[in-house]
Amino acid sequence: MTIVGHLINGRTQTTAERTQPVYNPSTGEVSAQVALASRSTVEEAIAAAQAAFPAWRATPPIKRARIMFRFKELLEKNADRICELIGQEHGKIRHDAMGELQRGIENVEYACGAPELLKGEHSRNVGPDIDAWSEFQPLGVVAGITPFNFPAMVPLWMYPSALVCGNCFVLKPSERDPSSTLLIAQLLQEAGLPDGVMNVVNGDKEAVDTLLEDQRVQAVSFVGSTPIAEYIYSKASANGKRCQALGGAKNHAIVMPDADMDNAVNQLVGAAFGSSGERCMALSVAVAVGDAAADALISKMTEAMKNLKVGAYCDSDNDFGPVITREHQEKVIGHINSAEAQGATVVVDGRQPKVAGYENGFFVGGTLIDHVTPEMSSYRQEIFGPVLQVVRVKTMEEAMQLINDHEYGNGTCIFTRDGEAARYFTDHIQVGMVGINVPLPVPVAYHSFGGWKRSLFGDLHAYGPDSIRFYTRRKAITQRWPSAGVREGVEFSMPTMK
Ligand code: NAD
């Protein structure tokens, strides 16, 4: 059986003391084994990155950027192979995997602008014969730890920016679907990256803890669930590392009485059930303002959901595939059961979908639940499955209060035709990424991505301009070249320009 190994110092390693099965969620069968790196394997990767750093740091940004241009071409050329691996191990349908990869490539395109992005700030004549500037220097060895739900895109949020800034990288991908992530890193190597600049170690908690404890690792980027994000942030910070840790979500869409209901329903269907709801920006709660809007929404959603097709990743006619594991399938179904037991109404029930030929796959069908209330555990917790819950409120203020009171603050959206209401919403909502009639307001690569509240621990967001700041350290330099013959006297007071 295939062993998915590591990429260390430019070479793929497949020997491992411990391994774990990787499943094909569409069939329920084991498709490979992933190597779980020991502490010493991770230390080997960190050492390779540390050794590669001096030469990489000295490489002109334009040369680093040229590797990214070649990398982008290789990603496009190998898109079919990459998306097949994503489908096999994650369960994503081809068109969705292609969308994920394209969003990842856009981060590579952003990194191609390194020479422009790394320009410092310069001030001439801040004093007599004195010039001052700030420059942005790389940190050294930096690490990334990523989740299963975007095995191509989320790692690409991190290392293209980190590398063009002059850092060396150690990536610890999700052990549940590691193959596409490893293939992409091999393509970067093929694009001409020097050995040791980019390393991938597969593994579990042992690998993560080694990265968090090793003094050579200067910064950690994490994306995953909130309890682990909080753990990573506290441990990395306690060990003196810079850290950004993006966590879970519960994204609400407010459906106003004046919304174009057909359009809102189309958008909600895609954003709630696409990728089986396993997106941190999936819309999982619709907050309908007024019973008339709620009734119209439920009736139109029920109609639209009759056409939803759940099935294996390899049939592009399907709308979405299985969830990631049997355990996760049971967890999602458990949330539907608990909502029902606590008084909600399951309007469309996806607990027992029939997928002919794939009876052992980890499928959950699209599910719509009405009369959900904020006290229910299915409302408070992230479900991360193809489940849309509807909460009924009387006013927009009540809807906004619900969102602001929720522990997560990743994404949100309002469906309305009222510009004044939309403007008020964007101004006052306590959420990091906001859509107006846009259900998945995932920022484009040249803006940065991040939630508020317990959806992000740290200050700087992922990718885009914030990533250039995250992966560099500011150095402020003040320089004087005195004019010939000018001598300054002794000065004991604080220098000023009075
Ligand atoms: P996860 O937290 O289980 O795993 C993420 C990473 O942490 C993996 O690499 C995993 O190996 C590692 N990990 C898991 N348990 C650990 C432990 N005890 N100690 C150290 N490391 C550990 O998340 P997941 O299930 O892979 O991904 C889904 C979650 O990620 C959802 O909560 C989703 O909302 C979130 N997510 C957030 C964003 C965002 O941008 N905010 C994006 C994608 C996914």
Residue where a domain terminates, one of 387, 409, 436: 436
**Closest to 363 (Cα-Cα) out of 324, 334, 312, 322:** 322
**Closest to 276 (Cα-Cα) out of 363, 355, 162:** 363
**236 lies in the same domain as 362:** no
pLDDT at res. 164: 98
**Is 412 contained in some domain?**
yes
- CA dist 19 and 285 (Å) reads 38
**Is 484 contained in some domain?**
no
Count Cβ atoms below 10 Å from residue 492 Cβ, excluding itself: 4
Q: Which two tokens stand for residue 348?
A: 């469309």
Question: Please, which pLDDT band fits residue 316 given cuts at 50, 70 and 90?
Answer: very high
Instruction: Evaluate whether 165 touches 118 at the Cβ level (below 8 Å).
Output: yes
Distance (Å) from CA 123 to ligand 1 centroid: 43
The response to whether residue 148 sits with its C-beta less than 6 Å from ligand 1 reads yes
The response to whether residue 448 sits with its C-beta less than 6 Å from ligand 1 reads no
pLDDT at res. 334: 98
Question: Please, which pLDDT band fits residue 491 given cuts at 50, 70 and 90?
Answer: confident
**234 lies in the same domain as 292:** no
The DSSP letter of residue 277 is G
The response to whether residue 145 sits with its C-beta less than 6 Å from ligand 1 reads yes
Strand partners, 412: 252, 434
SS3 159: helix
Count Cβ atoms below 10 Å from residue 428 Cβ, excluding itself: 11
**185 lies in the same domain as 296:** no
**425 lies in the same domain as 288:** yes
**Is 58 contained in some domain?**
yes
Q: How many residues does this entry show for the chain?
A: 498
The response to whether residue 281 sits with its C-beta less than 6 Å from ligand 1 reads no
What residues contact 40, with CB distance under 8 A and at least 6 apart?
none
Count of structural domains, the chain: 2
SS3 191: coil
Q: Which two tokens stand for residue 110?
A: 């952003």
Residue where a domain terminates, one of 383, 406, 436: 436
* Tens digits of residue pLDDT in 419-461: 999 999 999 999 999 999 999 999 999 999 999 999 999 999 9
pLDDT at res. 73: 98
What residues contact 10, with CB distance under 8 A and at least 6 apart?
189, 194, 195, 196
**403 lies in the same domain as 303:** yes
- Whole-Å CA distances, 16 to 36, 37, 98, 146, 289: 7, 7, 31, 21, 55
**237 lies in the same domain as 290:** no
**Is 377 contained in some domain?**
yes
Distance (Å) from CA 146 to ligand 1 centroid: 6
* Tens digits of residue pLDDT in 369-388: 999 999 999 999 999 999 99
Distance (Å) from CA 100 to ligand 1 centroid: 17
**20 lies in the same domain as 58:** yes
- Quote the distance between the C-alpha of residue 343 and its chain's center: 34
Task: List, in sequence order, every beta strand (DSSP E) within 241-399.
Answer: 242-246, 251-255, 283-289, 345-348, 367-370, 387-393
Instruction: Report helix angle 94-111 to 79-90, nearest 10.
Output: 120
Residue 148 alpha carbon, nearest atom of ligand 1: 26
**284 lies in the same domain as 394:** yes
Report the nearest-CA residue for atom 20 of ligand 1. Answer: 205
The answer for 11, left when phi > 0, alpha when psi is -120 to 50, beta otherwise, is: beta
CATH of the domain at 266: 3.40.309.10
Question: Please, which pLDDT band fits residue 17 given cuts at 50, 70 and 90?
Answer: confident
Count Cβ atoms below 10 Å from residue 192 Cβ, excluding itself: 11
Helix (H) or strand (E) holding 30: strand 29-36
**227 lies in the same domain as 283:** no
**Is 360 contained in some domain?**
yes
pLDDT at res. 201: 98
The model's pTM is: 0.97
146-147-148-150 Cα dihedral, nearest 10 degrees:
-70
* Tens digits of residue pLDDT in 208-264: 999 999 999 999 999 999 999 999 999 999 999 999 999 999 999 999 999 999 999
CATH of the domain at 473: 3.40.605.10
* Tens digits of residue pLDDT in 181-196: 999 999 999 999 999 9
**262 lies in the same domain as 238:** no
**430 lies in the same domain as 463:** no
**Is 491 contained in some domain?**
no
**Is 130 contained in some domain?**
yes
pLDDT at res. 484: 81
Count Cβ atoms below 10 Å from residue 103 Cβ, excluding itself: 19
The answer for 485, left when phi > 0, alpha when psi is -120 to 50, beta otherwise, is: left
**Is 498 contained in some domain?**
no
Distance (Å) from CA 362 to ligand 1 centroid: 19
Catalytic residues: 280
**Closest to 348 (Cα-Cα) out of 340, 360, 338, 359:** 340
- CA dist 248 and 227 (Å) reads 9
- CA dist 236 and 341 (Å) reads 40
Q: Which residue has the tokens 């002919």?
A: 356
* Tens digits of residue pLDDT in 95-106: 999 999 999 999
**178 lies in the same domain as 190:** yes
| Domain boundaries, position 230 | 3-247+455-477
